[in-house]
A and B are shown apart, each in its own frame.
Chain A
Amino acid sequence: MKPGVIKINVNKTVCQGCRTCEAVCSLAHTGAVSPQTRGIQVKELNELGKFKLTVCQQCSDMVCAQACPVGCINRNSYSGAVEIQDGCTGCGACAEACPIGAIVMVNLDRETKPYKCDLCGGLPECVPACPRQALSW
């Protein structure tokens, strides 16, 4: 895994776990809000007020793309984000391959699909929505 440079950077020490980033991500990508369909994940750890944030590192070696049996994970030439494009069969190989668990497989409306951060095509919605400036890019 070779993390890329242009990606969402997180400062977990200031996160307060409101999950606005997840909600905005879900809305921007699906038109609805679901706790599952998001490219950034907030998890509360065992210690009070400590959170873990997981988001795609837009790796240069694209481990997920290498694992994809149908070759539908590619880099967007405009945003530079690693994107899941048309043709996905929902097999889950990319999610298994990602070393940090930044791809989630979601079963919603009788369809299984992977969700990951695509930098919203170039201008990430979650970054300005975060009230704690825990996200930057």
Chain B
Amino acid sequence: MCTCLSQASIIMVGGGMMKGYKDCVINVDLTEGIITKEKLNPDYIKKYMGGEGYGIALLWNEMPHDAEPLSPDNILSFNTGPMTGTPTPSASRTSVCFISPLTNTIGASNVGSHFGAELKFAGYDTVAFKGKSQKPVYLYIDEQKVELRDASKFWGMNTRETTDAIKEELGKDFKVCCIGQAGEKLSSLACIFSDDCFAGRGGAGAVMGSKYLKAIAVRGTGKVEIADKDAFMAVYKDAYQQLRSEAYTWGPVHGYGTPAWVGGSNDCGILPTRNFIQNQFEKIENVLPYQLWNNTDKYSIRRRACYSCQLGCHKYVVMGDTEVGEMEYETLAAYGPRCGVDDYESICMAGYYTTIYGFDTISGGATISAIMEWYEKGIINKEHTDGLEMTFGNGPAMVEMTRKMGLREGCGDLFADGSYAAAKRIGGKAMDYVMAVKGMEISATDPRGASSMTIAFGTSERGACHMRPYAATIDAFGYVFPDLDINEPIDPFNDAEDKTWLKAIKEYFVVTNLAGICDFNVINVEMKASTIAELYTAITGIEIDKFELLRRAERTIALERALNYERGFTRKDDRLPKRFMTEPAIGGPPKGRVVDMETALDKFYEACSFDMEKGIPTPEKFEELGMADVAEQIYSLNY
């Protein structure tokens, strides 16, 4: 048992006193039903800061590196960061780390809501699960009291029913993370749900389901201490001002939420349409967000923000009696243009099923767009689709397929694990139309229109992810960011350009996952990296500058790549599907352009000091990062 039961939660790192953290981890062995508490590992904090970095360090140090994703060996951890629970903008995040059943790489997916802050107030930074329970359970955390409780009666319930039933049993002030039917049925697309926020990508919900863990419920009334209150009060005000000075963030995104992106994305020719056959949608007018907002006869839009969020990007749609849930850019783009669908009712209903059954809207919509292309090209037929006419633009068929996927009902079983797994089962030319990297579907940005996204999707450690980093802001949208030395606009169409700037931006995005804040502080390069460093120093009392901040992200990325490498991932897995290299973009600014994948990878690997074939940092780079032990382990492997 750790001594984190005392009020003064101070850990010593590098000789300093560090606040912000609670210095307590809950370890749950689900096989044995044993719960223990221990202090944070100071080495992990020093190297990787916390959040995603902490969870990845757990995987590296405490899990067999060849663990099967759905086996009891996989470690599923919920990691808050040092800023979670403070008034830092959007300090709500919890990074969920695991080995992904979708990609077989590391899984790192983070969720907002009020869950992470509550976990901190209860006195914990991280909750880590190992093993597998014999029957459905949920973890109950009420301040110091932590118990595994029977969840048999909740098994089979959808996400919202589970949340309501647990709150009914425990009290409304508990915050809940749970899975729906998709997680129970081990769909590789299953996510973890917390009050209509999701740890969406990579199949974290299936890992929870494989462990028979239905939910976590937490209540906390303690405190998160701040090392230097006066300094923090001054810096957070500066941070708010930086967010509020960014016109796009503070204007359209604050108002419409992320759907505000869809128009600009279409204008730039980066809006995936009909499974990336097109990069602009001819019916864009019908899916612009004001069409939904202003149709007040049919829809009502509500706001509910995550903890301490300035932006409040979550906008909830209520359609008649149906509480659809959040409408955001990725859902809209995946179930709208990507499937050729232009009616909001179908998009909303598809979003509703992903919400209640608990699976990823991006991979869900992307899988359906692949189904549509397979269907139109004659690779599959009605026998594969339970008679559904899966043509592009057929909204009602899309909704029904989404429902079936969430429940693995009928043909839904074939598609519930995503387009990559389905293509392997279908065979033939099906794989040619899978728009995925490492098995994870590419989200709603066409890399032909933004060279940075070629790298983001290709080299993301968890599969094609638009947040590692979302750098289309800089090259396609033309932002500059002097804080990280990006002083001139960058050409979005030149794969041969130096990618040093992209390395810095990627680390800057990963820093948010370590700190426990949202990517929406940085997506339009609103908050300076130096400001994040000042916030960290004020909260923890540890002096840090932006370079060391980025260095902690660089170490986290290096460790993720090392683990992926051990699991067989190398440069060959950092490539986009061949469509982007062979089929030119057909509209907008990138018209006629294809991706030069190898040149882009060369430039990025060079900027990151990666081995050109292995796709991991060179031994010298590992040494420089203070990770020689990691290099020693993986450079002895040969592929």
Contact across chains for B114 and A19 when beta carbons are under 8 A apart: yes
Contact across chains for B323 and A48 when beta carbons are under 8 A apart: yes
Contact across chains for B304 and A33 when beta carbons are under 8 A apart: no
- Tell me the bound Cα distance from A20 to B254 in angstroms: 16
Contact across chains for A48 and B226 when beta carbons are under 8 A apart: no
Contact across chains for B86 and A23 when beta carbons are under 8 A apart: yes
Q: Are A37 and B310 CB-contacts (below 8 A) given A16-B303, A19-B114? A: no
Query: Does B306 interact with chain A (Cβ within 8 Å)?
Result: yes
- Tell me the bound Cα distance from A24 to B117 in angstroms: 14
- Tell me the bound Cα distance from A44 to B7 in angstroms: 29
Contact across chains for B226 and A19 when beta carbons are under 8 A apart: no
Mask, B102-144, CB within 8 Å of A = 1, is 0000000000001001100100000000000000000000000
Contact across chains for B87 and A33 when beta carbons are under 8 A apart: yes
- Contacts of B220-238 to chain A: CB distance below 8 A: 220-226, 229, 232-233, 237
Query: Does A9 interact with chain B (Cβ within 8 Å)?
Result: no
- Contacts of B123-171 to chain A: CB distance below 8 A: none
Partner of A18, one of B86, B254, B309: B309
Query: Does B590 interact with chain A (Cβ within 8 Å)?
Result: no
- Tell me the bound Cα distance from A7 to B34 in angstroms: 51
Query: Does B312 interact with chain A (Cβ within 8 Å)?
Result: yes
- Tell me the bound Cα distance from A32 to B304 in angstroms: 25
Query: Does B305 interact with chain A (Cβ within 8 Å)?
Result: yes
Interface residues on A, range: 20 to 34
- Contacts of B303-356 to chain A: CB distance below 8 A: 303-312, 316, 318, 323
B231 shortest CB reach to chain A, Å = 12
Contact across chains for A16 and B86 when beta carbons are under 8 A apart: no
Considering only CB atoms, which chain B residue lies closest to A50 in the complex?
Answer: B302
| B86 CB contacts on chain A under 8 angstroms | 23, 27, 33
- Tell me the bound Cα distance from A125 to B229 in angstroms: 13
Query: Does A36 interact with chain B (Cβ within 8 Å)?
Result: yes
Query: Does B479 interact with chain A (Cβ within 8 Å)?
Result: no
Considering only CB atoms, which chain A residue lies closest to B302 in the complex?
Answer: A49
How many A-B contacts if CB must be within 8 Å? 90
Considering only CB atoms, which chain B residue lies closest to A31 in the complex?
Answer: B229
Query: Does A17 interact with chain B (Cβ within 8 Å)?
Result: yes
Query: Does A87 interact with chain B (Cβ within 8 Å)?
Result: no
| A27 CB contacts on chain B under 8 angstroms | 86-87, 226, 229, 232-233
| B481 CB contacts on chain A under 8 angstroms | none
Query: Does B85 interact with chain A (Cβ within 8 Å)?
Result: yes
Query: Does B477 interact with chain A (Cβ within 8 Å)?
Result: no
A27 shortest CB reach to chain B, Å = 6
Contact across chains for A33 and B303 when beta carbons are under 8 A apart: no
Query: Does B501 interact with chain A (Cβ within 8 Å)?
Result: no
- Contacts of A1-48 to chain B: CB distance below 8 A: 16-20, 23-24, 26-28, 30-37, 44, 48
Query: Does A86 interact with chain B (Cβ within 8 Å)?
Result: no
Q: Are A20 and B309 CB-contacts (below 8 A) given A27-B229, A27-B233, A49-B302? A: yes
| A49 CB contacts on chain B under 8 angstroms | 302-304, 316
- Contacts of B21-63 to chain A: CB distance below 8 A: none
Q: Are A35 and B7 CB-contacts (below 8 A) given A18-B305, A27-B226, A129-B240? A: no
B314 shortest CB reach to chain A, Å = 8
Contact across chains for A34 and B323 when beta carbons are under 8 A apart: no
Considering only CB atoms, which chain A residue lies closest to B222 in the complex?
Answer: A34
Q: Are A48 and B309 CB-contacts (below 8 A) given A34-B222, A36-B221, A108-B223? A: no
- Contacts of A102-137 to chain B: CB distance below 8 A: 108-109, 125, 128-129, 131-132
Q: Are A48 and B316 CB-contacts (below 8 A) given A33-B86, A34-B223? A: yes
Contact across chains for A33 and B226 when beta carbons are under 8 A apart: yes
| A35 CB contacts on chain B under 8 angstroms | 117-118, 121, 220-221
| B311 CB contacts on chain A under 8 angstroms | 131
| A26 CB contacts on chain B under 8 angstroms | 223
| B308 CB contacts on chain A under 8 angstroms | 18-20, 23
Mask, B204-231, CB within 8 Å of A = 1, is 0000000000000000111111100100
Contact across chains for B312 and A132 when beta carbons are under 8 A apart: yes
- Tell me the bound Cα distance from A16 to B316 in angstroms: 11
B7 shortest CB reach to chain A, Å = 5
- Tell me the bound Cα distance from A34 to B121 in angstroms: 7
Mask, B83-94, CB within 8 Å of A = 1, is 001110000000
- Tell me the bound Cα distance from A19 to B304 in angstroms: 11
| B121 CB contacts on chain A under 8 angstroms | 34-35
| B303 CB contacts on chain A under 8 angstroms | 16-17, 49, 132
Contact across chains for B305 and A16 when beta carbons are under 8 A apart: yes
A35 shortest CB reach to chain B, Å = 5
Contact across chains for B309 and A131 when beta carbons are under 8 A apart: yes
- Tell me the bound Cα distance from A50 to B304 in angstroms: 8
Considering only CB atoms, which chain A residue lies closest to B318 in the complex?
Answer: A48
- Tell me the bound Cα distance from A31 to B226 in angstroms: 6
Apart from A131-B312, A132-B303, list 19 A-B contacts with CB within 8 A. A17-B303, A17-B305, A18-B306, A23-B87, A23-B308, A26-B223, A27-B87, A31-B226, A32-B224, A32-B225, A33-B85, A34-B222, A34-B224, A35-B220, A35-B221, A44-B304, A108-B223, A109-B7, A131-B311
Q: Which residues of A contact B (CB under 8 A)?
A: 16-20, 23-24, 26-28, 30-37, 44, 48-50, 108-109, 125, 128-129, 131-132
The 10 closest A-B pairs by CB, nearest first: A49-B302, A34-B223, A18-B305, A16-B303, A23-B87, A32-B223, A16-B305, A131-B310, A31-B229, A16-B312
Q: What are 7 A-B pairs at a CB distance below 8 A?
A: A17-B303, A17-B304, A18-B312, A33-B85, A35-B118, A35-B220, A48-B316
